[in-house]
Structures are given as structure tokens and as C-alpha cells.
Structure 1
Amino acid sequence: MSISAGMVKELRERTGSGMMECKKALVEANGDLELAIENMRKAGLAKADKKSGRIAAEGLIGAKIANDGKTAAIVDLNCETDFVAKGEDFIGFLNSIATALLTSDVETPEQLQDMKLESGKTVDEVR
């Protein structure tokens, strides 16, 4: 099957992955977009497992204070490189966690992973 540029574009938009990675996934899935997404997700989990032992020594600390001045949230979010820490996505993620914490009753890291952000997704889904 021939993989069109439009198919690659759609997969890129849905996954945020690179063009060549998307094309490779579509070729392996014989043009099936949903199968390509599933295979990319599985491959991503395998990559994440390999990286889990690596040190995340960079990151940011963010703080938010509620409008009433009675509640505050402090978030320490780590990553592997300073380039990631300086990126808009990382900073936005940090701020969205801090904002959500102001109105939550999270007490454990496990609860934090399942906490819904303003986007409707959980912290773990966005991560």
C-alpha cells in the first residue's frame, strides 16, 4: 500500500511524533491509522521502560497561591535535560499541575497521577 503525505500528516497531528517515525509506523501497519497509533503507543511504553532507570536531574519548581491567599501549591517537576525544562510544554505542564493542586485533595503520588487537569486529561496522560 502507498502511504500518502496526508496519512503521515494526520498521524503526526494525532500523536505528535516525527514525520519519519509516523511514516515507518504506517508502513508497518499497511496504512491502518489506528493500528499504527496502537503500535506507536506500545513502542513508546517499551522506550519509556528502557529510560526509567535514567536520572532526571533537570527540571523546574513552580508555585501557585490561591486567590484567597489561604492555599498554596508547590510542584517539583523533573526531566532529563535543561532544554526540555525551558520548553513551553514543560512549563505549561508544571503550571497546570500547580493550578489543579489548589483545588484538589491529593495526598499521594498515585493520586497525583490520576488527578484531572484543566484539559480534562490526567497528569499521567499528559506526561
Structure 2
Amino acid sequence: MKFTTINIQGNIFTSEILDRIRQDNISFQKPQDFGLKPNELVRDEISNAWSLINTHWQIFKQKRSAFQPTDTGVTETRRHWIVPLLNLLGYEVTLSNAELVNGRSYAISHRASNKDEFPIHIIGSEQSLEKKQKMRVCHHMR
């Protein structure tokens, strides 16, 4: 099969592999492997997920364009972008608090309740990763 939008370089992905993926004839690519019903198409689910996350991204971009220079964007980043993205990827995200480990406080804004309470910390899109932020306790931020 000719792929007009794919330019294959090297030999990691061959046109044969891409043909098998396209025909759903490759291991671990069946609907059941992704938690879908046998009659659901993986391709359709990917398309739906992409459309949904693009909608969240557009909403987040609109919210972000209204930020003031001093805004960190924490609430907007969490509520309109990262939490929906993580949910779409299968994480059940719940609010959490900082945690003390060996006498040191570590910022943890959320946990993945379906992944053994795995800690997650989501900062605002306008916050610097180079500087430590002053901790505020805000239970309403999602």
C-alpha cells in the first residue's frame, strides 16, 4: 500500500508493518487490547480522542490568552488542559496535598486514584520550572 503522507526512512518501520497496522493484522492492536468492544475500531477511538483533546486545547488557549502578566494559570492549566488530558489517557485524577517525606515537604496537587495513588503535581502554564514557587494551600484548584 502506498502511504502518501508517510515518508519511511530507515528500517524500524517498514511499509509491511504499516500495512499490517492499517489492516488491523498485528499483535496487540485489536480493539480488545485497548479495552474496546470487538466491533469498535481503534482508529475511530483515536480520532475521537484526538478531537476531544483538541477541543480542550482550544478552550485552554482561549483562557490562557486572557491571563494577566502576573497570572500563573494554575487553575486554568489544571482544569482545562492537564486533568482532561490525563483523564483521556486513563488516569483517574483526584485532588491531593503536599506530602512530608523525611521531614521535607513535596508539592503534590493530585493523585492517580486508579494507579495506586501515584502522585502528580500540576503547575500553571505560566510558572517557571527554574524557580521554586511559594506554596499556597488552595483546595479549590483542580
TM-score by length of 1: 0.33
Larger-Rg structure: 2
Structure scoring higher RCO (CA < 8 A, sep ≥ 6) equals 2
TM-score by length of 2: 0.31
